[in-house]
Structure 1
Amino acid sequence: MKSKNIVSAICLMLILALVAQAQPKPNILLILSDDAGYADFGFQGSQIMKTPHLDRLAKQGMRFEQAYVSAAVCGPSRAGLLTGKYQQRFGFEENNVPGYMSASGTTGDDMGLPLDQLTVANYLQNLGYRTALFGKWHMGNADRFHPLQRGFDEFYGFRGGARSYFEYDDEHPNHRQEDYLERGFGQFEETEVYLTDALADETNAFIERNQDQPFFAFLAFNAVHTPMEAKPEDLAKFPDLEGKRQQLAAMTLALDRAIGQVLDKLKELDLDENTLVVFTNDNGGPSDTNASVNDPLSGTKANHLEGGIRVPFLMRWTGVIDKKSTYAYPISTLDLLPTFVKAAGGHPDTIASLDGVDLMPYVLGNNSDRPHQTLYWKKENRGAIREGDWKLLRFPDRPAELYYLPTDASETNNLATANPEKVKAMYKNLFAWELTLERPKWQLQRKYEGAAMKRMDDYKKK
């Protein structure tokens, strides 16, 4: 009798193994907006912005109430997202933009995602995925940093950090190579199509070509980053707004419409139920340059208040993640790499030095703990640490501030004076983490320092 039970158990295990092998790997679609405000989506409560497609996506899956990026500006934030590691671990602390120089004293093309760092595209490529990036790269302008050298099979977008939404011509004053649209490697070509629409079109073409194999599509919109350039027909839909706010509303509408077209393509090809879709943003909205709104959060892009580092975040995986669900504990875009690798059949626990975690056990309720007890942020001598529900902000020119986020997401009630021991302990923990990091690989050139300090002073006066 015992031998029969053993045989039956072995047979059951074999059947389960065969069933698991027969399950197709999920396609993965990562959609990233650029510089969007925390409150500037319908699913985040906006009564002004029109985002019906993203609102529907939120209802089809899970909305994360406390999603964070690893940096308050786009270059370092993307470096963390792509590697699953705090980008300061490999010296990517500053934006690789004009005004900064490398530690060796050179500027421009010397700056980019270090070549010894693997990206999520590298890992998925090794797991049999066809990988593609559409839109903004901003991980280095030089050929050696190119997306096709970093795990992506296909690329359509631009290497730099920002560009026009309309076609460049030879007379355009902004004609750096990294600003121009590029297909593949070195084939620079402009389009007459509004860029937000063009990126959706290219993503859909990729999905069509690869519908019979697992794919990873990273749709990295430059919307709604400056320049503020909307289509006239979209502007006309917001007659009660004006200036940057009207431009932002129109650009957000175009962004949402383009996302809807990609989601519709998945449905048209019967791929929507086997595609893990994530939508998020690269950092907090810059309320000055594009009039974004981060309510109820304080702060803005480039600082460590919640409005600079907390972002909208949606995840849909039909049949796996419950519809109309929410997740309350803090997560990070550092979690995307291990989550995607695990969903693709890989083993993120074998990847050295990951700071992100596979979110699925938490999302599905199999693990009731927090994905992260502690999260960190750092830029130069400014820093922040969140331990549980407490957050400490460290500044170079004034005492540290302490907030209890469950009752003060707006960070208006500084509790540092009332909790000196907690401030001391969290300050030490932040410093201990910093001791594990590399020195920044580039720094602000001296001629730009005065302007940077003035911007900081102007913000503090508000």
Structure 2
Amino acid sequence: MKTFKTSTTRFLGKLALVVTTIGFAIPCEAETRPPNIVVFLVDDLGYMDIGANNPECFYETPSIDQFAKTAMRFTNGYAANPVCSPTRYSLMTGKYPTRVRATNYFSGKRSGKFNPAPLNDEMPLDEITLAQALKEKNYATFFAGKWHLGKTKEYYPQNRGFDVNIGGYNKGGPYTGKKYFAPFKNPEMEESPEGDHLPDRLARDSAAFIEANKDKPFLVYLSFYSVHTPLIGRPDLVKKYKAKAEKLKGNAFTEVPGAVAGKKKQKLRVKQDHAVYAAMVEAMDQAVGKVLKQLEASGVADNTIVVFTSDNGGLSTSEGWPTSNLPLRGGKGWIYEGGIREPWIIRYPGVTKPGAVSEEVICSIDLYPTVMKASGVETKHVIDGVDLSPALKGESLERDTLYWHYPHYSNQGGPPGGAIRVGDYKLVERYEDGKVMLFNLKKDLGEKNDLSAQHPERVSEMRAKLHKWYQSVDAQFLQKKKGGPEPWRP
């Protein structure tokens, strides 16, 4: 077990008392100490992959489901992008990744009919990260797991505001050693005993940091490598889910029309029954439970904001097709709801009501301003997200629009495209040909019924708003191939 050194300056001791002129003792620290922050970011976890969102879920997530009963669950929560690195950037900065051209996973430059838009594959060093901002309030800061926000060490967590970095480096997944089992051969973490399971290791280190820093404000950012490929599960859990899957009926797959030019058919998983993926989900759930229990054991749960979310939708159209996002359309790498709608559960003691459910539309760009507001840090630079405090209190947010921009060819089969959501309506724009589709998500969550021909005025208004946003963030688009046709331009 790795041990952690706490800061030499602790937060005024365990309890600072000020004696007033009439002799009363006032517990100042209890009133002034900002809340601790714990963020669980799960890689590739779909909206329908937890029991709290999906009563028919094949995977068992008792820790997350119980956590949802103590917190607020959002049914309209999104990632800023359908793949990992851009969403991770948005969580760290509160900004749309399009602002810095970080619009695909680092370094995804796949071509199709056209070349992709120019890609910046590192989080700029002048960005003020979540961890750096919290240093203003003397937070102890900890990162564990997948980083994927820069190629060289100057971009790693320990140089972006985190006091401790366990396992975060330039690789997007656990691609060395025995993958999810030790030896991990990760240059940014001490090696574990043979066979140690990565989710549990990261949870143990997170719990140790909480206990070591319980007397001062802290940020724990546990960014799981799970449930990303390679698909490798704990043998005991794989055995359990193989037996469970044998009792299910029906086909696991279907074929759908290909979304990218030149591709006629595409395989799509329509049933959750992948035993290895299920084992990975449950192991991640157990790790979440271990950290939540440590908050209680350390006596800090009542002053800790806990956030649970994912970086993009579940992987359902490629790379092993491990999960189904139905009724949501598409999955990771797609601008449809299956690629961008995420689990979002937030517990803010004294603010959220246990078991509350919100239909407010939120996004990964909102984490940063919400944490800044809660911690009392003033933000003086451009932020695209909004403080979620009103929603967490059960009120409405002053927001009517969200935007997405993905000018790349996904390695999961998704086409380059953008989208805008205004109220219940979502407009999707394809970058290969400029085609648009309009959906009413309240009536058609699966995005099956294109309403663009029925509502031309709404299409025109939403498209104009989307294009104006493109200009405001200097959005880049598909590039012409040598000797090829000119790409569509908004």
Is 2:245 the partner of 1:241? yes
Q: Measure the CA separation in 2 of the matches of 1:137 and 1:80.
A: 13
Structure number with higher helix proportion: 1
Is 2:293 the partner of 1:278? no
User: Unaligned stretches of 5+ in structure 2?
Assistant: 1-19, 112-117, 247-251, 253-272, 408-415, 485-490
Which residue does 1:194 correspond to in 2? 197
Which residue does 1:86 correspond to in 2? 96
Encode CA deviations 1:308-339: one digit per residue, 9 max, x unaligned.
11001101123321001011110111111111
Which residue does 2:372 correspond to in 1? 341
Deviation at 1:370, TM superposition (A): 3.1
Check whether the contact 2:40–2:308 (CA below 8 A) recurs between aligned residues. yes
Deviation at 1:300, TM superposition (A): 0.7
Residues 320-335 of structure 1 mapped to structure 2, 5 A cutoff = 320-335=351-366
Is 2:385 the partner of 1:356? yes
Which residue does 1:303 correspond to in 2? 334
Encode CA deviations 1:191-245: one digit per residue, 9 max, x unaligned.
5311111100110111111111110000000111000010111112211327981
Counterparts in 2 of 1:424 and 1:335: CA distance versus 1, 3 Å = same
Which residue does 2:12 correspond to in 1? none
User: What is the number of equivalent residue pairs in this alignment?
Assistant: 410
Q: Measure the CA separation in 2 of the matches of 1:300 and 1:227.
A: 17
Which residue does 2:167 correspond to in 1? 157
Is 2:24 the partner of 1:24? no
SS at match of 1:240: helix
Deviation at 1:39, TM superposition (A): 0.9
SS at match of 1:257: helix
Percentage of matched positions with identical amino acids: 37
Check whether the contact 1:100–1:445 (CA below 8 A) recurs between aligned residues. no
> Structure 1: which amino acid aligns with 2:381?
A
Pick the aligned partner of 1:51 from 45, 61, 75. Answer: 61
User: Unaligned stretches of 5+ in structure 1?
Assistant: 1-10, 102-106, 170-178, 450-462
Counterparts in 2 of 1:409 and 1:145: CA distance versus 1, 3 Å = same
Deviation at 1:424, TM superposition (A): 1.3
> Structure 2: which amino acid aligns with 1:431?
H
Deviation at 1:443, TM superposition (A): 9.0
Is 2:403 the partner of 1:379? no
Which residue does 1:436 correspond to in 2? 472
Deviation at 1:357, TM superposition (A): 0.9
Q: Measure the CA separation in 1 of the matches of 2:206 and 2:480.
A: 38
Pick the aligned partner of 2:224 from 221, 225, 228. Answer: 221
Deviation at 1:181, TM superposition (A): 4.5
Which residue does 2:448 correspond to in 1? 412
Check whether the contact 2:402–2:421 (CA below 8 A) recurs between aligned residues. yes
Check whether the contact 1:300–1:307 (CA below 8 A) recurs between aligned residues. yes
> Structure 1: which amino acid aligns with 2:88?
R
SS at match of 2:141: strand
Is 2:69 the partner of 1:42? no
Which residue does 1:180 correspond to in 2? 186
Pick the aligned partner of 2:212 from 209, 214, 239. Answer: 209
Encode CA deviations 1:267-286: one digit per residue, 9 max, x unaligned.
11111111110100110011
Q: Measure the CA separation in 2 of the matches of 1:429 and 1:113.
A: 27
Check whether the contact 1:302–1:308 (CA below 8 A) recurs between aligned residues. yes
> Structure 2: which amino acid aligns with 1:392?
L
Which residue does 2:4 correspond to in 1? none
> Structure 1: which amino acid aligns with 2:418?
G
Relative to the length of structure 1, the TM-score reads 0.83
> Structure 2: which amino acid aligns with 1:167?
A
Residues 1-16 of structure 1 mapped to structure 2, 5 A cutoff = none
Encode CA deviations 1:21-77: one digit per residue, 9 max, x unaligned.
734221100001111121111111234211110010000011001001100000111
Q: Measure the CA separation in 1 of the matches of 2:104 and 2:355.
A: 37
Which residue does 2:79 correspond to in 1? 69
Which deviates more from structure 2 when the two are superposed, residues 234-243 or residues 248-257?
Answer: 234-243
Deviation at 1:146, TM superposition (A): 1.2
Alignment RMSD: 2.8
Check whether the contact 1:182–1:189 (CA below 8 A) recurs between aligned residues. no
Encode CA deviations 1:411-439: one digit per residue, 9 max, x unaligned.
11110000111111111111111112245
Pick the aligned partner of 2:235 from 232, 241, 248. Answer: 232
SS at match of 1:196: helix
Deviation at 1:446, TM superposition (A): 7.7
Check whether the contact 1:91–1:437 (CA below 8 A) recurs between aligned residues. no
Which residue does 1:139 correspond to in 2? 149
Q: Measure the CA separation in 1 of the matches of 2:122 and 2:275.
A: 34
SS at match of 1:155: strand
SS at match of 2:47: coil
SS at match of 1:323: coil
Residues 309-320 of structure 1 mapped to structure 2, 5 A cutoff = 309-320=340-351
Counterparts in 2 of 1:415 and 1:444: CA distance versus 1, 3 Å = closer
> Structure 2: which amino acid aligns with 1:97?
S
Check whether the contact 1:38–1:294 (CA below 8 A) recurs between aligned residues. yes
